[in-house]
Amino acid sequence: MKTFFFTSALLGILMQNLFAQNMPVKYQNVSQEKMQEQNVEIATLAAKEISKNLPQKIDKYTTLQSIKNNKATLVYTFFINDKKKSDATIRKEDHSRMEKAVTNGLCKSSKRFLQAGIDISYIYMSAKSKKLLFRFDITKDKCHYPAAR
């Protein structure tokens, strides 16, 4: 699972570098509607680009199966395949630890996306039962960024 968190952080950094780094920051009055349209377009492009290399094994338990956008939200779907643990055990033992790690990792690696209003959802499904194990919805409000000066 440690490599999963490392790889998740790397995915976030890759995504940030692919799309956010080369985008010049423009300080002008843009309507909320126009900003939302731009965010949807960015999320669509990010999902399309990352999807080219999927499915991708993250660690010995986890595979990133898909990434899609739902408006201005990037929705990652992972499958967890732990042959030794039941779905209930995974939910009970891993939920809070993974939620904290995913939130902290995405708040750091995807800061520009989140601050721009592009949200990120991580959905974890059981590879055995195809049932939902966890869902973590990360918005800029869940991150503790210092106030802009």
What digits encode the pLDDT tens for the residues 27-55?
Answer: 556 677 888 888 888 888 888 998 898 99
Domain 2-21+30-142 coded CATH 3.40.190.10? no
Query: In this predicted structure, what is the pLDDT of residue 146?
Result: 75
- State the pTM of this model: 0.76
**Looking at 1-149, which runs of residues are DSSP E strands?**
56-57, 62-70, 73-80, 119-126, 132-138
Q: Which residues pair with 132 in a beta bridge?
A: 125
Which of the four pLDDT bands, split at 50, 70 and 90, describes residue 10? very low
**CA-to-CA distance for 39 and 143, rounded, in angstroms?**
19
Looking at residue 32, what is its pLDDT?
Answer: 77
Q: What would the mean pLDDT of 143-148 be, rounded to a whole number? A: 75
Return d(Cα 149, Cα 138) in angstroms, integer: 24
- What pairing do the DSSP bridges indicate for beta strands 73-80 and 119-126? parallel
In Å, how far are 55, 60, 70 from 117, measured between CA atoms?
27, 33, 13
- Higher-scoring residue by pLDDT: 12, 122: 122
Average pLDDT, rounded, for the chain: 82
Residue 82 in this model has a pLDDT that exceeds 70:
yes
